[in-house]
Amino acid sequence: YYAEPYDVADSPVYEDLYVVGEAADLGGKHWLVRYAPSIGASFSGLPDQYQLVAGEDARARSIAIDVDGNIYVGGKAADASSVDHWIIRKSENRGFSWTTIDDFQLDSSGNAEVYDLLVAKDGNVYASGYGADSSGFYHWIVRRSTDGTSFTTVDNYVDPYPSLSHRNIAYSMAEDSVG
């Protein structure tokens, strides 16, 4: 049994604080979102403990919150064949209920995972990470949502010299002051 935190964010609307990560028990690794109703308050596990398939591993790796208080959490969750899916979940009510808004794989046999989320100044939500192709090569992936509910791939990069590296992962994103 263990728990590992990966990211933290505070709500600009409610002053809530959220921590995301994974927790392991006999039922596997669970996607975990913990919540404190105000900065400095005690945390609870209320908002989200998610697995795509019961008993298969899941990990929440990143969190972003928009100016309206909508919460986006990204990471990975394994299917019944133990293949990891790129997963983004959203809550519109401070984490009391969640909806999966992006379940992505570059190839149905390849793993995929969100490493970072960013809500840009223009309101678009970006996710970065990787998706593996049918040969097992990792592609650097960036996906964008302009409406907060559906995502499209805006960057798919793979090293042109795959014999040198087959792990292309977009680990993090930032927006400059211009936007």
CA distance 26 to 103: 25
CA distance 125 to 64: 9
| Tokens found for residue 49 | 């403990």
Write the CB contacts of 129 (distance below 8 Å, at least 6 apart in sequence): 74, 86, 112, 113, 114, 115, 116, 141, 169, 170, 171
pLDDT exceeds cutoff 80 at 45:
no
Q: For residue 134, what pLDDT is reported?
A: 92
pLDDT exceeds cutoff 70 at 163:
no
Q: For residue 157, what pLDDT is reported?
A: 93
pLDDT exceeds cutoff 70 at 9:
yes
pLDDT exceeds cutoff 70 at 176:
yes
| Tokens found for residue 79 | 């299917």
Instruction: For residue range 74-95, list pLDDT tens digits in order.
Output: 999 999 999 999 999 999 999 8
